[in-house]
Each structure stands twice: as C-alpha cells, then as structure tokens.
Chains A and B, each alone.
Chain A
C-alpha cells in the first residue's frame, strides 16, 4: 500500500495554499494560451521559466505543468467555434468540431471536448501513478551504457517522428548537440567553441535559446500573415454545454480508446500530443460503423482527439519523470526547467524527491478538476478574449520574453542569445526544420556526452559495450531502427511503384 501512502503525501504537498493558488494560475494561463492562436504551450512554458524562477521547485513545476495540460484543454475552443486550432494538437478537433458548431451544436461539442479532456486526463494521471514507480525502480539499475542508449534513442525518436523530413529533424538535433558542447568541458576543463567570449564559458543559456527558438520565432512567423479579427455570435450557457445521453453513448468507445492511445503514444519518447490526436481520430474512424460520416460533425470525432491529446500530456510525464527523457518540445522545455531548479529527472527522482514527484502528480489530479469546473462556465469569457487583437499581444509577448530572459541571470548577454535563436528559429520554421529536436539535444547533450565517455572508459574504447548489455542493446537497436525506418519506407515505396509500372 505504498502507493496510497505516497499519494497521501502528494496531496498534502499539493493542497498547501501556495501550491493550490499556483496550480490554479497555471491552468488558467494554460487555457488562455490554448485559446489564443499564435502562442502555443511550448512558448507558454518557456516564457514562464524565468517568471517562476524565484519560487521553490515544486511550486514552479506545478505551475508550468498546469500550463501544459491547461493548453490542451483550451486548444479545443477555437477549433470548434472558429475552425482555427489554438495549437497543433487540436487540429483534428476542427474536422468534426467546427461542423457541429455550424449545425448549431457548438454547446455539446465544447462540453464534450472539456469532459473528454477531463476523463482522459484523469485516466492518464492514474496510469502515471501506478506505472511510474515500478518503471523508476527498474531504471535504477541503469549504468552509463544504458543511459547513453536511452538518451540516444530519445533523440533519434524525436527526429524521426517529429517533422515531415527526418533529415531536417536530424540536422536540427545534431546542431543542438553542438550547441550543448559550447562552454567549459565538465570532465577535462577545456574551453570549447567559446570564441574568447567570457559569457560563453558557462555554455549557451537554455532559457535564452528556448525562448528565442519558440517564442521569438513564433512572433516573427505570425507577423508575416496578419491575423484577421475573429468574432463569434454563439451564446453559451452552462446548460447548453452538457452533452445529452445519446452523445454519451456515441462517445463511450471513443473516450476509452482515445485515453489508452493517447497515454501510450505520450509515454513514447518522441511522439507527443499532436501525433496522439491524429492516431486516435484515425482509429475511431476505423472502428466506427459509419466511417464516412466523419468530418460532418460527429461528436465522437471531437471526443477521441481531445481525449487523446490530454492523455498524451499525462503519458509524457511518465518518461520525463522516470527516465528524464522528454517526448516533445514542451516536455523538453519542462526538463530544462527541472534542471534549472536543481532537480535531476530520472529513476532516482522518485526516491530522492518523493515530496516533489508526488506533490506534482497530486496537483495534476487537482488541476484537472479545476479545469473542468472553471472552463464550463468560462468558455464564453475565453471566446470574448479572442477579440484582443494580435497587434496588442505581439509587443506583450516580445517584451515578456526579453525581460524574462534577462531576469534569470540579470545578464544582457542572455537577451542576445534569445535574439540570435529567434532569427535561427524563424529561418528553421520557414525551411521546415523542426525546432524541438534542437532544444531536446541541448538539454540532453551533457548527459549524452557524459554517459558516452564514461561507457567508453569502462570498455576501454570499444563500442561493443552498447550491444553486450541486454537493455542498452535493445534501446540502441530501437534507436537505429528509428533512424533507418524512413529510408526503408522510401525504398519500399520505390520498389512498389517500380513493380506497378512494369506490371501495368
């Protein structure tokens, strides 16, 4: 009954007045960020790191996690009402959600989106509660080779699952590794790639880079295409939001399938909420008795992806907390935040900082309840907030970012780092390079390098060490498989198209 003891401890931590307040603030900001198009959860979390800098670690991470899953809630609102996804994980919700709104059923669509998020989110936290501790126990026996294989696998999975072009994902990740090398080498004291600049001896600041790569570059991309003012006439009362009995019957299957798919996709390093929602929608279409009706306003087409993206946010916490491997851009930024607060995610986190881990998990139960209680009555208010023009938002996002980056170290140089990576991030977005692998590589870089060098020291320079030990062998094979999977796919397509053309 250890788990119940731990949960109890967690709720004690999470229900302190301070933690409750900041959990509330976190989910509120998260919903806001989810609702507003043009600012995503990664940007939100990145901007919040400096602001939460002075808090204690538990409160800070509770706030940022609140933003993360809060954004998953909020993203559905604009998808349904305006056909504009608030963030990428809500793209699938537009398909049936907007059609429902057009038929005058925006109330049940919004209500089901919120309730599906709540049900799937809670399911994922329950799974997290029971799966994470044994996984952490298992991972305690990991040595440097296992750690290298694990981080290596995390990096390759992110690059191969991330964007459209695996090659560009890889380039982004490799450059991130190079950026991680900047500064004094922790093992030998040699200064690397510092260009004689004092400020670079400590390495490139993570906050400056993350905020530049996500927040600043997002502003630059958005400024290109002026967003039109969006209005909606929908009148929404709490009563009109409640789905009827038939809706629940239709959604029953979608809810549990979406929850399970979302959770396990979320646990996988490299796949995030966006992929989970795509997969859940596709599966629901396959299981449906009337697959052709999808896209015309089926409520299960809203419940499945909205449930899945919330469950994925919970699932991602499993690999983040137990293994220290983030699954997406947002969790990579969260990992950076954890490290800044002096917490080292990984198997030992559960035994060394039980108050933190269980406090965070308990806060997620509480946050989910807050979200559903808050959002049902407040949806009307969020919709009105959409009228804040981007013109006003844009200077606000830039100045918060710049001042926040400055505030972490009282150093103007960090602002230049943000400026530089803002430009880099803009160029990357325009040329289809995903930014997530770069941030992930910067966060994992020191761990990759240390475990690689330690392993090779143990083995006297032989790479065989990664294949002899069973766990690291499996992980390394998965890593290579994910690297070469795109090549195999291309070869197979060419082979098939070649055969068809000779036969036909």
Chain B
C-alpha cells in the first residue's frame, strides 16, 4: 500500500500541476468578480497540497506487514479483469459497426465462455437471453434506437 500511495501521490501532483497551469491561462476574473479560471486554479492548489501530504505520510511510514502488500490481486484475477475490460472496450468500439444485436451477443458469449469458462450450451443460452431481454426492454418498451449495422439489425 505504501508503494501504491507513493505512486498515486506523484500522479496527483503532476495532475495538479497541469490543472494549475491550464487554469492560470484562463481569465481569472470576469467583469464583475471571479472568472472561469478561479475555481479550477484553487482546486488545483488544494489537490497539490493533498498530494504532498499523501506523499509525505507514505514516505515516513515503514513498509512492513500489511503496508508491504500490494492491494492488487494475483495474476489469475488480473487476467480475468483484463479480459472483462478488454472485452468491454472492443464491445464499445464495434457497437456501431456490428450493430447492437450481434455485438452484445458476442460480448456476453465472450464473458461467459472465455472469461468465466462456462460450458458452451449454457453460454449460448445466457447470451441469447441477455441480448433478447435487453433488446425488448430498451428498443421495444422504452423506444430507444439502438445501434444497427448496415444490414439493418
């Protein structure tokens, strides 16, 4: 946790530097009082102070016991998380090209079959039901126009 705090502290410090710099270029005061850059500038300053406190307190702590452990999971869990996130990214990327029905079916099948390693009959059933259920709720009942591919589905 100590290492994680040191890294986040550093990232937040860089972020606050960027915010302060950008906010300083905005008009600091309008015609009648504070302008667009006023709040972001001071919020950036507060963030910088908080990041420094985080860094300082992490620096002073000793990395023993729970502090030495990483808060992140082992390889296998990380693989599953990457699978879900990667799948979601590809899903969003392709939804307009493939259309809602095909894309959602493939995504759910990927999550069940590849990430969760479920048997294929079950995977197929859940994918079909989820896709159909969402389509009925959103497109039929709520009247949302879901993305369709160029063949119209």
Contacts and interface: CB of A to CB of B under 8 A. Distances in A.
A175 interface: yes
B91 A402 contact: yes
A431 B4 contact: yes
Contacts, number: 153
Nearest to A223: B80
Interface in A370-416: 391-392, 394-396, 398-400, 402-404, 406-407, 410, 412, 415-416
Interface in B1-43: 1, 4-5, 8, 12, 19, 22-23, 26-27, 30, 32-40, 43
Nearest to B117: A391
A167 interface: yes
Q: How extensive is the interface on chain A, given as a class?
A: 35 or more
A448 B46 CA distance: 15
Interface string B35-72: 11111100110110011011001000000000000011
Interface in B72-128: 72-73, 77, 80-81, 84-85, 88-89, 91-92, 95-96, 100, 104, 107-108, 111-112, 115-116, 118, 126-127
A316 B71 CA distance: 33
Contacts of A403: 100, 104, 134, 138, 146
Interface stretch (A82-90, A125-133, A182-190): A182-190
Interface stretch (A240-248, A306-314, A449-457): A449-457
Interface in A159-190: 167-168, 170-171, 174-175, 177-178, 181, 185, 187-188, 190
B73 to A, nearest CB: 5
Contacts of B89: 419
Interface stretch (A12-20, A108-116, A251-259, A422-430): A422-430
A205 to B, nearest CB: 14
A224 interface: yes
Contacts of B23: 192
B144 interface: yes
B142 A223 contact: no
A371 B50 CA distance: 45
Given A175-B47, A398-B88, A402-B91, A192 B100 contact: no
Contacts of B30: 187-188
B130 A396 contact: yes
A182 to B, nearest CB: 9
Contacts of B108: 395, 399
A430 B71 contact: yes
A410 to B, nearest CB: 6
Given A171-B50, A174-B43, A410-B144, A223 B84 contact: yes
A456 B34 contact: yes
A165 B40 CA distance: 24
A399 B44 CA distance: 36
Contact of A188 (B36, B77, B84, B134): B36
Which residue among A51, A178, A404, A416 has the maximum number of chain B CB atoms within 10 Å of its CB?
A178
Contacts of B27: 188, 190
Contacts of A224: 73, 77, 80-81
A457 B30 CA distance: 10
A426 B47 CA distance: 21
A195 to B, nearest CB: 10
A291 interface: no
A452 B41 CA distance: 14
A427 to B, nearest CB: 8
A193 B52 CA distance: 23
A362 interface: no
B47 A171 contact: yes
A453 B39 contact: yes
A395 B112 contact: yes
Nearest to B46: A174
B152 interface: no
Given A167-B50, A402-B91, A178 B44 contact: yes
A51 B116 CA distance: 28
28 contacts: A51-B142, A167-B54, A168-B54, A171-B50, A185-B36, A187-B35, A192-B22, A216-B88, A219-B84, A220-B84, A220-B85, A223-B84, A223-B115, A391-B118, A395-B130, A403-B100, A403-B146, A404-B138, A410-B145, A412-B92, A412-B95, A415-B95, A416-B92, A419-B89, A432-B1, A432-B71, A453-B34, A454-B33
